[in-house]
């Protein structure tokens, strides 16, 4: 009896998932059919359309957000900083990969238009300072680029040595969406 109840619950849960998936699940089935017919470009286009729907509904979030040792030259092109300790005089560079941002059109271009704010607190949570619009990452492209990264270079040389929390907030000027991430770090002499 327990096995039957468990199986019925499992089937019911699968039904809920399938109902929620709807359009995206249908895109997967269609893409698989296109793949079976060796229509590879069509299959990729079908899956990209499903991905676009998820992208548009998603909040502004981040695949990655980390300290790097030098300014990135593009999406996925970074050298991670070893640990979270920095000398007070060295710049602190943050690399992040946002998702869920929007595009506006300017002529034939799709434009990504973001702004970056930050707040810094001591390790025990006391506010130290903040600043709005410290960076304005963006991109103009013929495509709606989903692989986009930002670099923010911070100079905290005026702060005393100690432990801090860096909250970076990114605002999408096109959609109004905002997302944030927090990175702890330590400044040394």
Predicted confidence at residue 99, as pLDDT, reads 97
Contacts 24+ apart (CB under 8 A), 162-165: 162/122, 162/123, 162/186, 162/187, 163/122, 163/123, 164/120, 164/121, 164/122, 164/123, 164/128, 165/120, 165/121, 165/122, 165/123, 165/125
Predicted confidence at residue 7, as pLDDT, reads 35
Domain 58-188 has CATH 2.70.50.60: yes
Q: How far apart are CA 20 and CA 106, in angstroms?
A: 35
Q: What is the pLDDT along the chain (189 residues), one digit of tens a residue?
A: 333 333 333 333 344 344 455 889 999 999 999 999 999 999 999 999 999 999 999 999 999 999 999 999 999 999 999 999 999 999 999 999 999 999 999 999 999 999 999 999 999 999 999 999 999 999 999 999 999 999 999 999 999 999 999 999 999 999 999 999 999 999 999
Predicted confidence at residue 10, as pLDDT, reads 37
Every domain range in the chain assigned CATH 2.70.50.60: 58-188
Predicted confidence at residue 5, as pLDDT, reads 32
């Amino acid at each position: 009896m327990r096995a039957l109840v468990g199986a019925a619950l499992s089937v019911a849960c699968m039904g809920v998932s399938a109902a929620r998936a709807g359009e995206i699940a249908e895109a997967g089935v269609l893409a698989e059919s296109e793949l079976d017919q060796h229509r590879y470009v069509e299959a990729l286009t079908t899956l990209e359309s499903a991905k676009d729907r998820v992208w548009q509904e998603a909040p502004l979030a981040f695949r990655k957000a980390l300290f790097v040792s030098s300014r990135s030259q593009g999406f996925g092109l970074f050298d991670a900083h070893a640990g979270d300790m920095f000398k007070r005089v060295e710049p602190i560079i943050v690399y992040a990969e946002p998702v869920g941002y929007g595009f506006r059109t300017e002529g034939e271009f799709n434009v990504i238009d973001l702004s970056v704010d930050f707040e810094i607190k001591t390790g025990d949570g006391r506010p130290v300072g903040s600043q709005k619009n410290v960076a304005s990452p963006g991109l103009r492209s013929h495509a709606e680029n989903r692989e986009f990264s930002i670099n923010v270079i911070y100079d905290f040389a005026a702060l005393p040595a100690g432990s801090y929390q860096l909250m970076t907030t990114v605002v999408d000027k096109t959609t109004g969406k905002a997302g944030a991430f927090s990175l702890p770090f330590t400044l040394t002499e």
